[in-house]
Amino acid sequence: KAGVTQTPRYLIKTRGQQVTLSCSPISGHRSVSWYQQTPGQGLQFLFEYFSETQRNKGNFPGRFSGRQFSNSRSEMNVSTLELGDSALYLCASSEAGTSTDTQYFGPGTRLTVL
Amino acid sequence: GENVEQHPSTLSVQEGDSAVIKCTYSDSASNYFPWYKQELGKRPQLIIDIRSNVGEKKDQRIAVTLNKTAKHFSLHITETQPEDSAVYFCAASKGKYSSASKIIFGSGTRLSIRP
């Protein structure tokens, strides 16, 4: 099976803009989770989607949102970008999204906000 | 709130020696503890995991131990090799089949293997 893919791989935006990132899970996986990775904060959980529904959300402001489509592909959107949003955004998919499922990570999208 | 603390943040060991990374979790309901390895410029990959009904698990040179009473778990790498150099993340999650997945990660340990 093909692995988790994310597009684009790199993005440069300016403050105040918005951005949409895309994640295609492994075929058959219904759960997609998003994480923000920064050198200082490690891996921070953003949210998790399962069958087009957001099931869990981390402690991020409302500027961060997401959605999942019927084919399990997921997008996350960040509006009104701030300098501190510069990070590597990783998505991970798992079969059923249970707490003991193995999560398979995508290569990430590196977002730079100028 | 839920928290996972990981130590040390950096670790340098001589090739062939052992490396130990320790994590402590705050939520006593946590029941699943995966470890991920992230090589430079690559995605995190699961290397070993343990469930709360098991005290220890081994996979070749890698082992994980869990102490539920103390709420801490550790990763042990024996006979370290240059390819073990990476950032290692511990994580903890809870819930069962009908629960949403919410994994809390530790802050990571940068392991360097000295030749």
- Only one residue has tokens 């959107």, namely A77
**pLDDT for position B101:** 52
pLDDT of residue B54: 82
- In angstroms, the separation between the Cα of residue A29 and the nearest Cα of chain B is 13
Token digits of residue A19:
């951005």
Q: What mean pLDDT comes out for the span B1-25?
A: 94
**What is residue B21's predicted lDDT score, i.e. its pLDDT?**
98
Are B65 and B51 contacting, i.e. CB atoms less than 8 angstroms apart? no
pLDDT in tens, B83-113: 999 999 999 987 654 444 578 899 999 999 9
Range name among A25-39, A84-98, B37-51, B89-103 with the lowest pLDDT average: B89-103
Distance CA A70, CA A72 (A): 5
The confidence score (pLDDT) of residue B25 equals: 95
Per-residue pLDDT at B100: 45
Nearest CA in chain A to B39: A107
A34, containing H or E segment: strand A31-38
CA angle B95, B71, A43 (to 5 degrees): 65
Among B61, B51, B47, smallest CA distance to B18 is for B61
Rounded to a whole number of angstroms, the CA Rg of chain B reads 14
d(CA B15, CA B103): 32
Question: Nearest to residue A49, comparing CAs of B100, B40, B35, B3?
Answer: B100
Whether A35 has a pLDDT exceeding 90, the answer reads yes
User: How near does any CA of chain B get to the CA of A42, in Å?
Assistant: 5
Chain A residue set in contact with B, beta carbons under 8 Å: 4, 31, 33, 35, 41-45, 48, 50, 55-56, 58, 90, 94, 96-108
Size of interface A-B (CB pairs under 8 A): 76
Range with lowest mean pLDDT among A36-45, B2-11, B37-46 = A36-45
Rounded to whole angstroms, the Cα distance separating B93 from B105 reads 9
pLDDT at residue A41 is higher than 90: no
According to the model, what pLDDT value does residue B95 have? 61
Q: What residue of B is the nearest CA neighbor of A3?
A: B43
Beta-bridge partner residues of A64: A78
B61-92 per-residue burial string, b: 16 or more CB within 10 A, e: under 16: ebbbbbeeeebbbbbbbeebeeebbbbbbbbb
**Alpha-carbon gap: B41 to the closest alpha carbon of chain A (Å):** 9
Residues contacting residue B65 through CB under 8 Å, at least 6 positions apart: B50, B55, B56, B73, B74, B76
